Structure 1
């Protein structure tokens, strides 16, 4: 039995006010609300952070992944880049797109000068927890007061070479 190749997607930086970014964010919010059985209101779209959008290469008008990096400005993880609102369309899960998006977000955080990436999640989101653990994230103490978070993770993304020590 041969398996078919994974579908192709493109990932690029996007303005969070872009209609496709809003569509992806709305899909993320709807899924989180349904899976956590809560009302989830992120408030107005903010210019904070940098955002990536994955699009179906065969249909670029279809968002299939989304996430951002926002600077942590206070608390024990100050200076880190926080991965926010990471989402992969359920039809694309298991294709490797989630891992690719996470690596792209880590690279973006590094380019922005963040030595570490942090994120939080709810344990109901088992696919996300598994992805973060496979990607080398370690659990850390809570660094924010997100009422929906049950697990906090961190990973160093910038390492210093011998000349930098």
Structure 2
């Protein structure tokens, strides 16, 4: 039936932990040794702003955000399981993250993705994100693409 529901939760949620384990494996398969550089930037401490998408009560995708500055929230750990791709889940999760961030007073979303993540790049561009200069830990990483969007 493909009923999609979204849940706001935190990084301790077992479904989120399951999904990011799959995300890490997917990224490792795509980028191989380069992930040794990126893994340090993908550590999820305790984050209270996680969104999980469910399809017919099965965890299908996720994303979260954390404070980058007083004005900007950084999108992290966006992922949709392969069997649920094509259902606009990532767009729904991203929109929910933006609404949540705006309600917390953030005026901008920023994010980083890899140059091989073509579906992610397309998602962000369709969602109104524009390429920006690489920030923070991604400044000297040529394979990183950074984007931003004003809320």
- The 5 A counterparts of 1:12-161 are 12-38=7-33, 39=35, 41-42=39-40, 45-57=44-56, 60=57, 62-73=58-69, 79-146=71-138, 147=141, 150-157=144-151
Asked whether the equivalents of residues 15 and 59 of structure 2 are also in contact (C-alpha less than 8 Å), the reply is: yes
Q: Which has the bigger relative contact order, CA under 8 A and spacing at least 6? A: 2
Deviation at 1:8, TM superposition (A): 1.8
What do the CA deviations read for 1:9-57 (whole angstroms, capped 9, x no partner)?
A: 2111122112111101101111111111134535764113511111222
Secondary structure in structure 1 of the residue aligned to 2:91:
helix
Contact 2:11 2:47 in 1 (8 A): no
Q: Normalising by structure 2, what TM-score? A: 0.86
| Greater per-residue helix proportion | 2
In 2, are the aligned partners of 1:121 and 1:148 still within 8 Å (CA)? no
Aligned-pair RMSD on alpha carbons?
2.0
The 8 Å contact of residues 69 and 108 in structure 1, kept in 2 or not, is answered as: no
Structure 2 gap segments, 5+ residues each: none
Larger radius of gyration between Structure 1 and Structure 2:
1
